[in-house]
Structure 1
Amino acid sequence: MAPALLGAIDYAKAWADKTPEHVTTVVLATDGYPTKCAVQAIEDVAAIAEEAFVGKNLKTFVIGIGDGLENLNTIAKKGGTGAAIMVDSGNAGEEFLAALNSIRGSMTCTYKIPVPASGEADLDQLNVAITPYNGSQEVLPRVGSEEECAGEAGYYLDDPSNPTQLTLCPASCERGATTAADVQVVIGCGAVIK
């Protein structure tokens, strides 16, 4: 289990570095504890997930298929996702799909602001676009704070004078989760500010 998780995390780190405008996570799905090859304790596997979460803010979701897999919660907790999702092996297909949808729905609505190769991000050129699955792209307006969202679409910065991340307004966050939307943070065109 540890080599598989380590390989997935290494790949996810590389992907996250190439696509900082996207949220990258790892999903570990297993039907049991490590019992073959280089057997490692669950705590050792959890330490791999913890290092990725603490070092790169890379979360590890865990899906356990079968009974008696409660120790997988240790990996999920150290990986920043709280608890493993347990799937009944009698109805594995439907429950596994539901687990993946649950993970997709719980994805964060906070994104890092990409820093261009030139150094500093020009906030006057920062845009956030949301594209629902099979839908049209919408460029979201920037608002001053979460309070200014007022039930409308948009996003706001964590620190207006020196931001490092942005958060979607609750209405946009919910829309993204319920429509399997693609969210892109782009620097390059004039910002839409409400």
Structure 2
Amino acid sequence: MRHPSLHHVPLACLLGLAAAGLHGACAPDSGIDGSMSPAEGAGPGGDLDSGGDPEPDAGLLGDAPAEVPLDPDAACGLVTEEAVIVPLNLYIMMDKSSSMTGDQWESAKAGLTAFVNGARFAGVRVALRFFPRDADAAPACDQFAYMTPLVPFGPLPDNAPAIIETIEAESPDGLSTPIYPALGGAILMGSEVAKNHPGQASAVLLVTDGQPQGPADRCGAVDPEDPAAIAALARAGADGVNGLPPVRTFVIGLPGVDQRIAHQIAAAGGTDAAVLVGATNTAAEFQNALAKVTGQALPCELEIPSQVAGGQVSFRDVNVLFALDGAPQEVLPQSPGCDGPGWRYDDPDRPTALTLCPATCEAARSASAARIQILLGCETVIR
């Protein structure tokens, strides 16, 4: 009997990460101490779309076949179930300083609108806020004033109308570019979300076209315009602070950005380098940059199926069915050493998750769509 067909869904609906809390030192006067619990929005998860029923075939794993071929229709298979994933929470902190006026702002609006309306990242939970914030009673350097997003976290595409409505109502009128408190607040919020939703991954995306300016000569003992101080915030978030889960910082640099500073912040935030947008077709390039960052932010771990965790099925009778970009499904072999495509258990003695090996993870993140199921009951194919 044929197993239920694989569902064809965006990569965002397939890959997940159990975020682990790590201790780290707080940057001087950073405000990242986890002492505030802000209100956050929530929304329903996205549904998976049904796909076709492809036959198994070769090709996905190239010339590195598994030791034992396995037909996904094998009689040993007790059940084939969809992989259970953990959501990604992405907090977009977007520059609205006066340098963003004109075509720059219109291009940013168009790119963001196209991104949130797209189907590729359905299920990713996105929140949005702008900086500098409008005048209020909070001190200019207050990171906590940037914690709560203007558009609360909610899954795409459900949250797209609220995001589009908010950016349409906004205009670039800020007289400074206070990256220091804005980034600090976003990291605080990302850590708080991950803390309140164990197992969910959180990341911050800083979008700017300039360099740090303001909001004051000093924020406590820190020069808020010092790139090293801002990088220290990003590093503290990536390392985890006060026992909170780590939050990586991604950076998209729009035309005019100080590229050296943008790369410095991204590297400190655990994301290697900023994604730079050119001036030729800013809207399309910004949309592509948003997609690239979100793809990189997606983690590559899957939850242990309940039948396995509950002891009804042995850990030695688990197989992963995997396909990219509409290709036929294949059995992805277990590769304990991850010396090529495959998957492994996070802990061989006490598994809590199935982890895609780096080569497979990178291929999945680069794909426009991925499909995955877990086949239970057949002896695990091991590379």
Given candidates 347, 355, 370, the residue that maps to 1:167 is 355
Which range moved further: 6-15 or 100-109?
100-109
CA distance in 2, matches of 1:191, 1:122: 14
**Cα deviation, residue 61, structure 1:** 0.7
Partner of 1:186: none
**Cα deviation, residue 16, structure 1:** 2.1
- 8 Å CA contact retained: 1:63, 1:87: yes
The one-character-per-residue Cα deviations of 1:149-177 (angstroms, maximum 9, x if unpaired) are 7x5xx631233014566421444652354
One-letter code aligned to 2:285 = E
TM-score normalised by L of structure 2: 0.37
The one-character-per-residue Cα deviations of 1:43-85 (angstroms, maximum 9, x if unpaired) are 1111111001112332111111123512121111110111112
The one-character-per-residue Cα deviations of 1:18-47 (angstroms, maximum 9, x if unpaired) are 051x43211111111222423612211111
One-letter code aligned to 1:44 = A
Partner of 1:79: 269
Partner of 1:44: 229
Unaligned runs of 5+ in 1: 115-120, 184-189
Alignment of 1:47-58 (within 5 A): 47-55=232-240, 56-58=245-247
Distance 1:13 1:102, change over 3 A: same
Q: Percent identity?
A: 30
Distance 1:31 1:176, change over 3 A: closer
Does structure 1 residue 111 correspond to structure 2 residue 291? no
Higher helix share: 1
Partner of 2:194: 16
TM-score normalised by L of structure 1: 0.67
Partner of 1:143: 334
Alignment of 1:65-76 (within 5 A): 65-67=254-256, 69=258, 70-76=260-266
Distance 1:99 1:166, change over 3 A: same
Given candidates 182, 192, 205, the residue that maps to 1:27 is 205
CA distance in 2, matches of 1:83, 1:60: 10
One-letter code aligned to 1:160 = P
CA distance in 1, matches of 2:335, 2:352: 15
CA distance in 1, matches of 2:261, 2:190: 24
- 8 Å CA contact retained: 2:211, 2:257: no
Alignment of 1:92-111 (within 5 A): 92-107=282-297, 109-111=299-301
CA distance in 2, matches of 1:144, 1:86: 35
Rg larger in structure: 2
CA distance in 2, matches of 1:108, 1:8: 18
The one-character-per-residue Cα deviations of 1:104-160 (angstroms, maximum 9, x if unpaired) are 33346443869xxxxxx7686999898999x9xx9x9783525597x5xx6312330
Distance 1:99 1:176, change over 3 A: closer
One-letter code aligned to 1:104 = T
One-letter code aligned to 1:24 = S
CA distance in 1, matches of 2:371, 2:183: 25
- 8 Å CA contact retained: 2:250, 2:269: yes
Unaligned runs of 5+ in 2: 1-178, 218-223
Given candidates 346, 350, 353, the residue that maps to 1:158 is 346
